[in-house]
Amino acid sequence: MAQFAAEREQAEPVATAHANPAPLGLFGFALTTLVLSAANANLFPAAQAGIVIGPALFYGGLAQLLAGMWEFKADNTFGATAFSTFGAFWLAVAAILILKLPGPGTPGFGFFLLGFTIVTGLLLLGTLRSNIALIGVFLFLFLAFLALTIGDFAGSASITVIGGWLGIITALIAWYAGLAGILAAGKSAFTLPVGPLS
């Protein structure tokens, strides 16, 4: 009988609970988006725009990429794709700035942004049955990328400023969604509504 119980324990692995990686990904995305968007909105001098490199490498880049890998482990295809994509986006932005490649304000960077505008539009479609907070993040991110892309192709600083402000709104919504995830996962005194659709 004892042997049967031991074999049964080996045959049935115990399920373990894992933390939700989405708040980490959303927070890393929000902070880095805020910094670059503030530069695009001309809230600080363009000469200081390099400040985004640190967050782009580590919080928006590495931490978000890790969140994406953990979403794969949690069997969340959307979260894995979104966080890995934008983690790689921020690592690419950091590399472009470090290597002094054609960056923001150039048609070449416009094509880079165009690709991410398309990807963001596709991801927006993937949010339509999730919740209002997540839809808000991807809708405003799509609009921000679209404005920044047009700004780079047209050489229009005013359209880029609009893209910067749309990015700031995106960051605020992402922080809200991330905080809602943290509060829902713990024993918090309150929760935040995200407006579930399914």
Pick the closest to residue 156 from 85, 105, 102, 103 (CA basis). Answer: 105
Quick check: 24 and 68 in contact, CB under 8 A?
no
Between the alpha carbon of residue 192 and those of residues 133, 168, 180, the distances in Å are 10, 20, 5
Which is higher by pLDDT, 106 or 3? 106
Average per-residue pLDDT in the chain?
92
Q: Is residue 167 part of a domain?
A: yes
CA 84 to chain centre: 9
The pLDDT, as a whole number, for residue 10 is 53
| Number of structural domains the chain divides into | 1
CA distance 79 to 71: 6
Domain coverage including residue 77: 21-181
The pLDDT, as a whole number, for residue 12 is 52
Q: Is residue 192 part of a domain?
A: no
β-partners of residue 131 are: 196
The pLDDT, as a whole number, for residue 146 is 98
List the structure tokens of 145.
């990328």
Give tens-digit pLDDT for 83-117. Answer: 999 999 999 999 999 999 999 999 999 999 999 99
The pLDDT, as a whole number, for residue 187 is 85
Tokens 């989405």 appear where? Answer: 22
DSSP-derived secondary structure letter, 197: -
Q: Is residue 198 part of a domain?
A: no
Q: What is the dihedral of CA 17, 20, 21, 25, to 10 degrees?
A: 180
Q: Is residue 129 part of a domain?
A: yes
Q: Is residue 11 part of a domain?
A: no
